[in-house]
Amino acid sequence: MRERPRGTELLYGRNAVMEALRGRRSLRRLFVAESSARQPRVAAMIQAAEQRRIPVRLLSQRDLAEMLPDVNHQGVALEAGPYPYVEFEDLLRQAEGRPILALDHIQDPQNLATLMRTAEAVGVGGLLLPDRRAAGVTPAVVNASAGAVEHLCVALVANLGRALEECQEAGYWVVALEAGPEAHTLFTADLPEPTVLVVGSEGKGIAPTLLRRADVQVALPMQGRVESLNAAVAGSIALYELLRRRLAADSD
């Protein structure tokens, strides 16, 4: 088998591959296990690839496993170019007042993937990630997000604090999801729109420098014995609360 060209990566998993075929990323080849080619979902991927004039290559399960060891590839792999991050200024313009999700050094790929999947599901306008000391969009994240990240506008920023300030200058309100004495209950707090929701890292939460930039600080009410939820769960709940409020406002 030819060596994979430099600057490409292998996406895997049926949901991830199908969404990438529907997305905006540059694609080179679709690899399919011969034993899976006639299955309806895989056949649909082959058809989608052919419509985009992407070559399809049938392989044995063994060859595909050698290409992607230690992952559940589900019989498909897609050779793709790098994830197409967008410029921050373009994200801010394209968001058009929809919520923006800012993640302060989320390092666990599964948490990142969960937040991305929720963000896409609720229709956020974009997602901000620090360009250092944080998880990025890897094939594992694409797979864990079920391909949702392929439909998101994601910008890497060198200074998240400065990016939040520019969002405020553009009319956004920064809402920090962080427990503490200054926090209001998420479900009853006054949350002006448009909103940038900031979710902190798994261990340290939101950095104090970012927390000071927030217009509103909110927290989830906890009535059980556990003191907190992980970043992905808490952030997902907050994203759906923002969606609930938008839907309620639209129905008035």
Summarize pLDDT for 31-52 with one digit per residue, the tens: 999 999 999 999 999 999 999 9
How far is residue 235's CA from residue 103's CA, in Å, rounded to a whole number? 9
What is the reported pLDDT for 145? Answer: 96
Q: Which two tokens stand for residue 151?
A: 């439909």
What is the reported pLDDT for 210? Answer: 96
Q: Is 225 helix (H, G, I), strand (E, B) or coil?
A: coil
Query: 47: how many CB neighbours lie within 10 A of its CB?
Result: 12
What is the reported pLDDT for 6? Answer: 66
Q: Quick check: 217 pLDDT over 70?
A: yes
Return the beta strands (E) in the chain as ranges.
9-12, 27-33, 56-59, 76-80, 100-103, 126-130, 154-157, 173-177, 184-185, 195-199, 216-219
2 or 133, which is more confident? 133
pLDDT tens digit sequence for 57-85: 999 999 999 999 999 999 999 999 999 99
**What mean pLDDT is reported for the chain?**
93
Q: Quick check: 4 pLDDT over 60?
A: no
Residues 237-247: b if buried by 16+ CB within 10 A, e if exposed? ebbebbbeebe
How far is residue 31's CA from residue 19's CA, in Å, rounded to a whole number? 15
Which residue carries 């620090």 as its tokens? 130
What is the reported pLDDT for 229? Answer: 82
Handedness of CA 233, 131, 122, 190 (dihedral sign): positive
CA gyration radius, the chain: 20
How far is residue 123's CA from residue 119's CA, in Å, rounded to a whole number? 6
pTM above 0.85, yes or no: yes
Q: Quick check: 1 pLDDT over 50?
A: no
Nearest to 199 by CA among 171, 167, 230, 221: 230
Q: Is 63 helix (H, G, I), strand (E, B) or coil?
A: helix
DSSP H or E segment with residue 203:
none
Q: How far is CA 47 from the centre of its chain?
A: 26
Over residues 152-163, the mean pLDDT reads: 96
Angle at 123 between CA 121 and CA 128, to 5 degrees: 100
Residues 128-141: b if buried by 16+ CB within 10 A, e if exposed? bbbeeebbebbbbb
